[in-house]
Amino acid sequence: MWQKSKMPWISKFGQVLLIALASLILPTGAWADDVSDAEQPFEFPHVRHASKFKINCMYCHTFARRSKVAGIPPVAKCIGCHDHLPSVRDTPRIKKLFSYWEQKKPIPWRKVHDMPDFVHFTHKRHIQRFIFKDGRPTQQVCGMCHGDVKTFTVGRKVRALTMGFCLSCHKQFQGDSDVGKPMPAERWMIPTAATDRPVMEVEHPQPAVLDPEHPKTMKVAEVSKLSERLPKSVRDHLVHAPHDCWQCHK
Amino acid sequence: MALKRMLENWSDLRKRDYYEDEPYMWGMSIDLNKCTGCGSCVTACYAENNLPVVGKERCGSGHAMHWMRIERYWEEPEGETDIDIEQSDYPERGAHYTPMMCQQCNHAPCEPVCPVAATYHTPDGLNAQVYNRCVGSRYCGNNCPYKVRYFNFFDFSKDIPAPLEMQLNPDLSVRSKGVMEKCTFCVQRIRSAKDKAEDAGHRDYIEDGAVKTACQQTCPTEAIVFGNLKDDDSKVKTLWAEHEVELNRHEQEKVEDARGYRVLEELNVEPSVMYLDRVRDTEA
């Protein structure tokens, strides 16, 4: 087809131009491994389940409250409801779902939020703290990292889950001492997926030896005590996260 | 600024035990009287910590990889040996085994030399190694008096045949090429114990025995005891006290019937592992 085109050089030029433009527009770095557009076996409609029927996130993602991973429900869980919903039984997606059920095969979902191996992140602590201790609505809490899932079909990665992203919360929140403290505004509101931007700035907390201000690894209380005395302009750029890498890196 | 801060907080910074107020200080005790040199601790460590088996050739060329090793010494018993024992099936040949792993020094020689601060001390008294920060200068390994730091000269994870990667422990990363690694006192188990303690509502207290390192769990003679040295009732603290070994003392007083010592104590590196000397009945 290319050869038969009347102006092959233009299409070639167009191709190059398109690639150049795309490389300018597409974000790199943390988003390079982004699999938010990963081809899933079928389009699971989060929008119906979470928005229309208001099913709690933890009804399907059972492990979130008691494990490191949130978990993908087994096919049996889907069938448990859909067996009793004859109205949608003949739609293409449900047909596909039942075909997996009849073949006794798991649905090969692709992982969307895949953290690097060296990151220790636990859903449990976050869920226990924000949903069960603070009593915040589930969708709001999950939305802090996962975006407004009730508007999605299949899950998409709307936040670059970088260290900077973790710290954007953790420099203000450090465990139980902050229970009940109001969340910063940008965390409180769930931004819509389209307008949400990744946190690309990483302010790494430094272990003692690299930080000239800290002769030794600081305890959390001491860091905040010391930083209170600093001028506001400096203070705003300080990361108050505990200076202990092993809390999150493994 | 730094100087001013240092002068202001001089007394705090000069404190010998900087993490005095922290609830945990992990320590270990290894009874060499009980150790039979069977090597199950080594095997357990391989399984728990995703260690590659590098093989004889690479071991020979100095690319060994074992967070825990059994050091073997031969000391012929002094005095005359009994003829009955000599003719027995198991004559005393003076074999002496020392399980050797990272001693989690409180004045660790590896820490200050790291150019990127990939190794540092946690408030729990552990000598941490942050794999994703490590650039592989190997300075720490060269500065370690116990030679317990191991370097990934190859990408061993690629050698794992297909279904076997499923048996890797997900609680810690599989190290890649160019990264230094060492015993962590099974920090992933400590982490999960802390997690459970927090569920129970006491984040500053972990019951004694709730954290077991892989080597301790597997030791058939229970020679290895692990626990919190800040907890006065813990088994490990009792042992340390019984054998009069203390932290923050670079030379322990030798007391009769006390067998405790720390390896290369005279270097003043403050190891957190106490060994109990082997006692042999040479007269028998």
Whether residue A28 has pLDDT greater than 80: no
From A214, A217, A243, A249, select the one nearest A230 (Cα to Cα). A214
Q: Where are the domains of chain A?
A: 46-72+109-188, 208-247
Helix (H) or strand (E) segment spanning residue B261: strand B260-261
* Interface with chain A: mutation pick from B132, B181, B183, B188, highest number of A CBs within 10 Å: B132
What was the pLDDT predicted at B51? 93
**Per-residue model confidence as pLDDT tens digits over A148-167:** 888 888 887 777 777 777 77
Residue B101 lies inside a defined structural domain of this protein: yes
ipTM of the assembly? 0.81
- Whether residues B117 and A215 touch (CB distance < 8 A) is answered with no
- Whether residues B117 and A206 touch (CB distance < 8 A) is answered with yes
Chain B residues touching A220 at Cβ < 8 A: none
Residue B199 lies inside a defined structural domain of this protein: yes
User: Is the separation of the CB atoms in B107 and B268 below 8 Å?
Assistant: yes
- Whether residues A246 and B171 touch (CB distance < 8 A) is answered with no
Residue B2 lies inside a defined structural domain of this protein: no
Q: Which residue of A has its CA nearest to B189?
A: A250
Whether residue A126 has pLDDT greater than 60: yes
B111 touches chain A (CB under 8 A): yes
What was the pLDDT predicted at B178? 93
CATH of residue B46? 3.30.70.20
Chain B residues touching A226 at Cβ < 8 A: 5
B112 touches chain A (CB under 8 A): yes
pTM for the model: 0.78
Chain B residues touching A124 at Cβ < 8 A: 195
Residue B97 lies inside a defined structural domain of this protein: yes
**Per-residue model confidence as pLDDT tens digits over A201-241:** 445 555 444 444 444 444 555 555 655 666 665 555 444 44
What was the pLDDT predicted at A149? 84
* Interface with chain B: mutation pick from A117, A121, A174, A218, highest number of B CBs within 10 Å: A117
Q: State the average pLDDT for chain A.
A: 70
**Per-residue model confidence as pLDDT tens digits over A34-61:** 555 667 888 899 999 998 888 999 999 9
Whether residue A192 has pLDDT greater than 60: no
**For every one of its 284 residues, what pLDDT tens digit does chain B have, with 9 covering 90 and above?**
567 766 776 776 666 666 777 889 999 999 999 999 999 999 999 999 999 999 899 999 989 999 999 999 887 766 666 666 667 777 677 788 999 999 999 889 998 898 888 888 888 889 999 999 899 999 999 999 999 999 999 998 888 888 988 999 999 999 999 999 999 999 999 999 999 998 888 888 999 989 999 999 999 999 999 999 999 999 999 999 998 888 877 777 777 788 899 999 888 888 999 999 988 765 54
**Number of structural domains chain B divides into:** 1
* Interface with chain B: mutation pick from A63, A124, A246, highest number of B CBs within 10 Å: A246
Q: Which residue of A has its CA nearest to B22?
A: A219
Bridging pattern class, strands B95-100 and B69-74: antiparallel
Residue B239 lies inside a defined structural domain of this protein: yes
Chain A residues touching B11 at Cβ < 8 A: none
User: Is the separation of the CB atoms in B115 and B143 below 8 Å?
Assistant: no
Which residues, in sequence order, are bridge partners of residue B129? B119
- Whether residues B198 and A219 touch (CB distance < 8 A) is answered with no
For residue B77, give its domain range: 20-276
B201: left (phi over 0), alpha (psi -120 to 50) or beta: left
Residue B155 lies inside a defined structural domain of this protein: yes
What was the pLDDT predicted at B47? 93
Phi, psi values for residue A103, rounded to 5°: -80, -5
Chain B residues touching A250 at Cβ < 8 A: 171-173, 187-188, 191
